[in-house]
Structure formats: C-alpha cells, structure tokens
Amino acid sequence: MERLTSTPEHLERAAALLRSGGVVAFPTETVYGLGADAFDPAAVARIFEIKRRPRFDPLIVHVADEAMLDAVACDISPLARRLIARFWPGPLTLVLRKQASIPGIVTAGLPTVAVRMPAHPVARELVRLAGRPIAAPSANPFGYLSPTRAEHVERMLGDAVDATIDGGATECGVESTIVMLEPSPTLLRHGAIPAEEIETITGPLARELSAESAPLAPGVLPYHYAPRTPIRIVDLVSVAPSERVRAGALAFTAPAGGYALERVLSPAGDLREAAARLFGYLHELDEAGLERIDAQPLPSGGLGAAIMDRLQRASATS
Ligand code: TXA
Ligand code: MG
C-alpha cells in the first residue's frame, strides 16, 4: 500500500492508479472514500471485496464537474438542477436516472445512480485528474465505523488498498445526505446537510430511512457504523457509578465522570463540531478495550439527526 499526501505529484500518482484499475482511499469533506473508476467493473468489484460489502448495496459516484455528471446520469430535472446549483460541490448525494454506460455492479442493478460532487479540494482534484467518475463508498469494512482520518483507513483496510491519500481529519465527519427526487422528493439518508436546508428548495421531503425501504437505499441497514465494543444510547446521568468503571462514555457537552474513558463531542453544544468528532472518538473508544460504550442522546434537529442516526444504527443489535 502506498501512502500518499496531497501534493500535485502524489495526486497525479493516485489518479494514474485509478486510471489503471487501482483502488485508492482518499479524503472527502464527509468521510474517507474508497475509490475506483466507475466505468471499470473489475476495479469496482475490488471495492466490494475489500469492504466485504454485499453486492446489493450500490455505490456513490463522485464527479468533478457537470460534464462528468452528464456522463453518469440522464433526465436531470429542473428541481435536481436547483439542488445542484445550491449544494454542489458539497455533501449532497442525488439519486438520478443512470446512463447506460454505468456498469450494473455500481448501482446493484438499479436503474438509478447516486451521484455527488465533493467539496474537498483533494477529492475533487483527484477525480478531475483521473478524468473519469469515481465510485467510492466509505473506506471501512462493511458495517463498521466510518473513517474520518487516513489512520482509520490504514488500520481497518491496511494493505488491501493500492494507496491511501492522507488529507488529515475530514471536516463534516458524517456522510453526505442522500436525496431521491423521483417519483417524489425523498430523504434516503440523514447526513452532513440537514434535511431542513434541503427542504427550503424541495418542500417537505418524504422519509425512507428504515430497513423496510431496502429496495430504495439498500445500504441503509439498521445495523451499521458500529464499533466492535457494545454501544448503547443512554442519558449518562442515569448510569450508576458502579456501571461506569469498566465502560467508556461519549458525552455531548460535559463529562459525566467516573468512566474508564470519556470523550466530549462539543463543550459548546455545537452540532457541527460534534459531527466532525463523532467517528474519531468512537474509533478511540473502540480501541480502548472497554466493556461497553455509553453514548449520550443529542438534540435531533439539524445535524443532530445525522448524528443520532449513526448512533442508533451503531447500537442496533441486528
Ligand atoms: O459522504 C459520502 O457519501 C461518502 C463519501 C466517500 O463520499 N460515501 C458514502 O458511501 O457514504 P456509502 O457506500 O458508505 O453509502 C452509499 C449509500 C448506500 O447506503 C447506498 O444504499 C446508497 O448510498 N445508494 C447508492 N446508490 C443508490 C441508488 N441508486 N439508490 C438509492 N440509494 C443508493
Ligand atoms: Mg458507508
């Protein structure tokens, strides 16, 4: 595995790997992605193998500009164009009708394709230099905590990838928000752009976030984003001192005290800061050999919805 940085030479090297069927982990503004040429079914198949991801779970395709978008998707509605004008580049993924040239392995056989234009300069430059759309799920083993640092990728996937570009910690810390527009505007995954912001353009979004919506968003499974250590959502003040000794805590604004290891997401109660730190702290807590992790519930408005979604799936047991 090559360790690369964001210098022009290294990005050109990573782009060359992608052009020749390689698999490269790279930073985006949300989480680290595991990328391959979206037009190369064999390269995309390697992503599924490396992640041990079920083939029914389609990938997000990353584009650098609108010309690339048109190579990936067709019949783009005026409403989709308005969302693109407002939120791209950025952490909004749109589910659109796919072009015939996108291989079925990318979309798990669906007639639609999930597309986004990342805002992170490294991600965007990499896709531009590769000269083709890049299919990239999060760079973690299927079902496990998402990576927000290059070290997370290296620890979880190691030598299985051809190269990892180290771009430091990601800014948002939670994945993109996924919206489907046909037949009607629907939220498929809470993410880095709060649903309320998207609704200023789309009007009220239907919600299809549960496991029952499997055909629409196959990857949105109840058990996901999970550490190996058992995790539960609980008001920390209600936990008895004796139960804290061998456990870890993920607090929101203030430590509860008495835990073997405790991390505070945002002393100021800032949900952006909390989202940015979420997975990094969960990785740390998971590495600490604790009996259990207790996570404080957060307010569910704005970015709180995306954070609580991740915690709920992480704590689901099936
Ligand atoms: O922020 C992000 O979106 C990150 C970075 C790397 O861009 N990527 C990411 O990918 O989160 P992944 O594979 O972990 O999540 C992709 C989600 C899956 O839940 C999948 O079900 C959904 O996108 N998806 C992909 N194609 C779809 C489609 N055609 N229709 C509905 N959902 C789709
Ligand atoms: Mg993922």
Q: Is residue 57 part of a domain?
A: yes
Q: Is residue 194 part of a domain?
A: no
Contact (CB, 8 A) for 261 and 246: no
Q: What is the pLDDT of residue 2?
A: 95
Q: Is residue 250 part of a domain?
A: yes
Cα of 97 from ligand 2 centre, angstroms: 22
Q: Which atom of ligand 1 is nearest to the CA of 178?
A: 23
CB of 92 shorter than 6 A to ligand 1: no
CB of 136 shorter than 6 A to ligand 1: yes
Q: Assess whether 58 and 160 both reside in one domain.
A: yes
Nearest to 214 by CA among 110, 138, 300: 110
CB of 218 shorter than 6 A to ligand 1: yes
Q: Assess whether 7 and 107 both reside in one domain.
A: yes
CB of 217 shorter than 6 A to ligand 1: yes
DSSP 62: E
Type of residue at 305: A
Give one word for 142, left, alpha or beta, with left for phi > 0 and alpha for psi -120 to 50: beta
Q: Where are the beta strands (DSSP E) in 99-135?
A: 112-116, 134-135
Instruction: Give the residue numbers spanning the domain of 302.
Output: 231-315
**Tokens 């771009």 label which residue?**
167
Helix %, strand %, coil % of the chain (to 5): 35, 20, 45
Q: Which atom of ligand 1 is nearest to the CA of 172?
A: 1
Q: Is residue 186 part of a domain?
A: no
Tell me which residues have their CB within 5 A of the ion that is ligand 2.
138
Choosing from 151, 171, 191, the residue where a domain stops is 171
Cα of 277 from ligand 1 centre, angstroms: 21
**What CATH number is attached to the domain comprising 281?**
3.40.50.11030
CB of 127 shorter than 6 A to ligand 1: no
Q: What is the pTM of this model?
A: 0.95
The pLDDT profile of the chain, 318 residues, written as one tens digit per residue, is: 899 999 999 999 999 999 999 999 999 999 999 999 999 999 999 999 999 999 999 999 999 999 999 999 999 999 999 999 999 999 999 999 999 999 999 999 999 999 999 999 999 999 999 999 999 999 999 999 999 999 999 999 989 999 999 999 999 999 999 999 999 999 999 999 999 999 999 999 999 886 444 445 544 566 788 999 999 999 999 999 999 999 999 999 999 999 999 999 999 999 999 999 999 999 999 999 999 999 999 999 999 999 999 999 999 876
Q: What is the pLDDT of residue 248?
A: 98
Count structural domains, the chain.
2
**What CATH number is attached to the domain comprising 131?**
3.90.870.10
CB of 137 shorter than 6 A to ligand 1: yes
